[in-house]
Structures are given as C-alpha cells and as structure tokens.
A and B are shown apart, each in its own frame.
Chain A
Amino acid sequence: MFLKHLELKNFRNYEDINLDLSCGLILFLGNNGTGKTNLLESIFYLSNGKSHRLATQNDLINHGSDYCVIRGIIEAGGEDKLIEIQLNNDGGLKIKLNKVFVKNKSDFTSSLATVIFSPDDLRIIKSSPFYRRNFMDDILEKTDKNFLSLRLKYQKILNQRNSLLKSISGFKVSSSNSTMEVWDEKLIETGKLIIKKRLDLLKLIKIGFVKYMNYFFEKRDADIRYIFSWDRFESNGNFSNENPASYSVIDKAFQEKLSYYFKKDIAIKTTTIGPHRDDISIFLEGSDIRSFGSQGEQRIAAICLKLVELDVLAENINEKPMLLLDDVLSELDLERKHLLLKLIGNNFQTFITAANFDYLKDIDLKYCEKFLVKDNSIIRY
C-alpha cells in the first residue's frame, strides 16, 4: 500500500499542505523543530487513527484553530481509499471513507498499516514496562478486532476494583467489602484473555526478534520472556531465562496472587496484580538487555522489535505497510545503517526524515523524492 496524496489543514504547525507522492523512497529534510515529525504523525494517523506520540486530539490542532483536517488517498489492495478525518477542539471527530461518513476508526484502520521507527522506540527497551505493554497491545489492537474492547473492559473493571480498594478502610466493615470477590472474578476472567493474547503474540515476536538480532549482530543469542506482575515482585528484578510462561495455569496463579497481595493492595489502594502490571524482558547472551546492553545494542533491539511489528502487520492485512523512519538513520553506525536500508530495499513506500544530507550519504538520492521542510511549508526540492 502507499500514500498517493496528502492534504493537511491546521494540523500541528501546518496551515495548509497539499502533496502528491510516489511509491518509493521519500525524504523530508529540515532543521530541528520545523515539523518533520508532525508530518509523519499525520501519515501515521491516516492508517492507525491515532498519534504515535500518544498526543491528544487537541495537541494535533493548530494553536488558534478550532479544528484540523487530514485527508489522504492510500492505494491498498489495488484500489484507492480516500480517507478524510476532521478533528474538532470540542472533542468532535468526523471520518469519511470514500466520501461516505463512517462511525468508527476501525472502518479504515483495520485494513491499513503504517509502522514508524523513531528514536523514542528506545523507550520500549529502556523505559518503564508501560512502553513494552503498549508495544504488544498496539499490535494486538491492529490485528485482533476484539482486543480494543477487551482492553477497555479490563480497564473499567480495574477502575472499579481500585475504587473499592480506596473505600475499604481497615476499621469499617461494610457490605461493599463482600463484592470484592466479584470484582476479582471479573478481573481474572478478562485479564486472562489479555494475557493469553499477549502470550500468543509474543511467540511470534520472539521468532522474528531472534531472526533480526542475528541479522544485525552475527550469531548473538537473543530471547524474550513474558513477565507476570507477580514475578516482578518475587524475583526482585532478576528474571531468569528459564520456564517460559505457559497459560494453562494462569487462572489459578492469578487468583492466588490476587489473594496473596490483597493486604498490600489495600494499603496502597491500587491493584498490583494483573496484566496492567505485566512486562516483557529481553535477553542478549543471557543477560537482560535493559541493564546490561550497550546503547548500540539497545537501539538495534528496538529496531528489531519494530521490524517484527512490520512483519506481523504485513501478514495481517496481506499488504506491505508504509514505513516512517523518523531521524533513525542518524543514530546508527554505517554498517547497521546499510543493513537496515538493505532490509527495507524497495519493498515499501518509505518516508525518511533527517536534519541534513550527511545522514543520507548511502542512499542513492537519484531515485528519491526530496522535500524541504521549512517555515511551516513543504517544498519539493
């Protein structure tokens, strides 16, 4: 699939943008802060229905405007899809697909895919478990039509349970306390489905991840393991590489750990057990890359995870997703940069941003479309 045409009105720093695009390699050059990431964000929105930066709707609207519009034509499956999205600053959202209003974002997001590589991906490796859960859950949201509602349902149950924990005080005995059992039951019922879906996905991710790590670093032993919330408390952060998680026993373990940590949950007034506190650990040569990997290894590991995401999404929609490479080439050594570009080849429509040409020395610029990003406009170069 590829983006043929892009129009922006009042999106971030852009008042009015109108671009025709080809299917190959497309470069956006511009100084820091000129709006390169903003541009990629709009392209990402067209197939994912959200910002890759977790921005709110109002963040996307030009300061001083009431609304913004993203309009694009994406060729997918041999036909053109005209997608028009209007975001209003009162929270309103209007979507048209081929000129017809549609109700849900999933009406266009389920058949399209864009993967963005950005320096922020390093957070998946280095930062809090939130980013690793999000990495898995975002893929599941794209590939499993029930996952989003499952995730929302779990969140609702969790909020209810947390409220109940807050209302229970050590002294007062209330009949509300007797409903805790019910919320536990619902939490487990929904939570175990989320865990199961993540574990199934992780099997796929692991195979791809090992393959790509071996591609970038010859013959390195790599592994990924799912870490349950209770494992996180009980191993003090030193996870062994053994006993890959299996879900036949999740029900029982979940129930036991909820009871075991109930007192603690009451004391800190929040639920500490469940998939909302799970994590994954990534190992290189047997040690956790988060604490022991070099910066370069961590960066490549993040890229490998994104390459796996690319494969999983491509398989799901049976199309080549669009690729957005935001400032990533500048961060790789020459050899790794070559390897990445070789993988991408001319298989994908690829948007690359950079602050200057130096980072693009190895790309044959003859075959690229080039744009300068400057003064809130985009000029063909």
Chain B
Amino acid sequence: MTAQIKSIENLINEFRKLPGIGPKSARRIVFYLLKQSEKDISEFADALVDMKLKVKFCKNCYNLSEEDECLVCKDGSRSIDIICIVEKASDVLVIEGAGEYKGLYHVLGGLLSPIENIGPDELKIPQLLARINKLNTAEVIIAVNPTVEGDSTATYLNKILKSSGVKVTKLASGLPVGGDIEYADQVTIGRAISGRREM
C-alpha cells in the first residue's frame, strides 16, 4: 500500500462509482487510459462534460434531448394520438430499436415506490394527464417492467386514465416475468407491442 499514487487512486475511485464496475475493472480501465495520448484523453474528458451540458429533458415527454423537444416529438410523421408510457429514457431507445412503434412517448422517471418516497407527483403523472387532455389522446400503452412496483404503477395509471375515456393497453406478456425491458431482444419487444391488450 506504500506505492499508491493519489491521482491514480482518485480516478479508480471515480470509475468504481459506475454501475457494473468493480475494483478490478476500474484499475484495468485506469491503466489503459494512462497509456493513451494527451489528445485522446482530452477528447474523452470533453465528451463527458459536453454530454452533461447538452443533454436535457424534452419539455413534452421527458425523453432525453439536446433541444427543448426530443427527436420523437419533433418527428412530424409519428401518430400523436397514441402515447407509450415508460419508466426511464433508456427504455425509449430499446423500444425505438425494435422499430415497431410509431407513436409518442412519456417518460415517468421512475415507478411508484413508497419506500423510496416516490408517489404520483414525483413521477411525471400530472404532466401526463395534462398532455392527454391537450392532445386528445386515443390510446396509452403502458410499457413498464412486470415487477411489484411496475405492476402497481400500471394498475394505478389504468385507474386514473380509465375515467378519462382513453383506451389503456399493456404490453403483451412476451417479456419474461420480472424481466427487464432493457434486456429483452427487439423481436420480443416488437411482439409485446403489437400484441398489446386492453387492461
């Protein structure tokens, strides 16, 4: 423990904070970076800061975007009478990857979880209701993972949306139980969307 170099240890600790990175991988990455040219390293560091400065949330759907409106919202060819509700922005990417879905999105930013103090107001649910009203939405698809929190969020949304007359559907149960949208393949996602059922 005598040969520790402070700046190296600092960077290792930064990498260890990232998901899926343990002490060994962190060390390997840092020693790899150490061999790179100063130019490469600057570009890497700039990319990190650039991302943080430029990326923000879409003002309509809370998807990630570099502008006020995200690419989906700006795309005039998409049907605006259907909204797909997802937990997080990365789920939008996965569903877009399947290429099946042509409507709008709404990113909740989490799931109902009293343990973490997350209620309807912490999610973008009031904003969702306002949007449905404004767009005169015909159908919402609830595309959250079938976990305890996901199921409860879906049930809650169904309850509050049913009375507004909008059609509420849920992904077909193509996803493995407790499975994560993030890890499902494109064919499975595509099937889950086209086979969606009314709740």
Other-chain contact of B112, A156, A182, A185 (Cβ < 8 Å): A182
Interface size class of B (residues with CB under 8 A): 10 to 19
The reply to whether A186 and B152 contact each other, CB–CB distance below 8 Å, is yes
Cα(A174)–Cα(B152), bound, Å:
18
Q: Cβ of A181: which chain B residues have Cβ within 8 Å of it?
A: 159
Q: Name the residue of chain B whose CB is nearest to the CB of A157.
A: B148
Q: B155-199, CB under 8 A of A: which get 1 and which 0?
A: 110011000000000000000000000000000000000000000
Is B40 positioned at the interface, with any CB of A under 8 Å from its CB? no
Q: Cβ of B159: which chain A residues have Cβ within 8 Å of it?
A: 181-182
A-B contact pairs, 19 of them (CB 8 A): A153-B148, A157-B148, A157-B152, A160-B114, A160-B149, A164-B114, A167-B114, A167-B117, A174-B119, A174-B121, A176-B114, A176-B119, A178-B160, A179-B156, A182-B112, A183-B114, A186-B148, A186-B152, A186-B155
Number of A-B residue pairs with CB-CB distance less than 8 Å in the complex they form? 49
Cα(A161)–Cα(B119), bound, Å:
12
Q: Is the interface of B mostly helix, strand, loop or mixed?
A: helix
Cα(A186)–Cα(B121), bound, Å:
21
Is A104 positioned at the interface, with any CB of B under 8 Å from its CB? no
Chain A residues engaging chain B, CB cutoff 8 angstroms: 153, 156-157, 159-161, 163-164, 167, 174-176, 178-179, 181-183, 185-186
The reply to whether B148 and A156 contact each other, CB–CB distance below 8 Å, is yes
Q: Cβ of B51: which chain A residues have Cβ within 8 Å of it?
A: none
Q: Cβ of B151: which chain A residues have Cβ within 8 Å of it?
A: 186
The reply to whether A175 and B121 contact each other, CB–CB distance below 8 Å, is yes
Q: Cβ of B120: which chain A residues have Cβ within 8 Å of it?
A: 175-176, 178-179
Cα(A176)–Cα(B123), bound, Å:
11
Given the interface contacts A160-B114, A185-B155, does A179 sit within 8 Å of B149 by beta carbon?
no
Tell me the minimal C-beta distance from A321 to chain B in angstroms: 31
Other-chain contact of A179, B115, B117, B126, B152 (Cβ < 8 Å): B152
Is B113 positioned at the interface, with any CB of A under 8 Å from its CB? yes
The reply to whether A182 and B156 contact each other, CB–CB distance below 8 Å, is yes
Instruction: Add 5 more A-B contacts to A175-B119, A178-B160, A179-B119 (CB < 8 A).
Output: A160-B148, A160-B152, A163-B115, A179-B152, A182-B112
Q: Cβ of B115: which chain A residues have Cβ within 8 Å of it?
A: 159-160, 163
Q: Name the residue of chain A whose CB is nearest to the CB of B112.
A: A179
Tell me the minimal C-beta distance from A340 to chain B in angstroms: 44
Given the interface contacts A160-B114, A161-B114, A163-B114, does A183 sit within 8 Å of B152 by beta carbon?
yes
Q: Cβ of A179: which chain B residues have Cβ within 8 Å of it?
A: 112, 114, 119-120, 152, 156
Q: Cβ of A174: which chain B residues have Cβ within 8 Å of it?
A: 119, 121
Tell me the minimal C-beta distance from A165 to chain B in angstroms: 8
Tell me the minimal C-beta distance from A43 to chain B in angstroms: 33
Tell me the minimal C-beta distance from A130 to chain B in angstroms: 23
Q: Cβ of B148: which chain A residues have Cβ within 8 Å of it?
A: 153, 156-157, 160, 186
Within 8 A of A (CB), among B114-136: 114-115, 117, 119-121, 126
The reply to whether A176 and B121 contact each other, CB–CB distance below 8 Å, is yes
Q: Name the residue of chain B whose CB is nearest to the CB of A174.
A: B119
Cα(A129)–Cα(B112), bound, Å:
32
Q: Name the residue of chain A whose CB is nearest to the CB of B113.
A: A160
Q: Cβ of A186: which chain B residues have Cβ within 8 Å of it?
A: 148, 151-152, 155
Q: Cβ of A153: which chain B residues have Cβ within 8 Å of it?
A: 148
Cα(A186)–Cα(B190), bound, Å:
28
Cα(A159)–Cα(B120), bound, Å:
18
Tell me the minimal C-beta distance from A225 to chain B in angstroms: 31
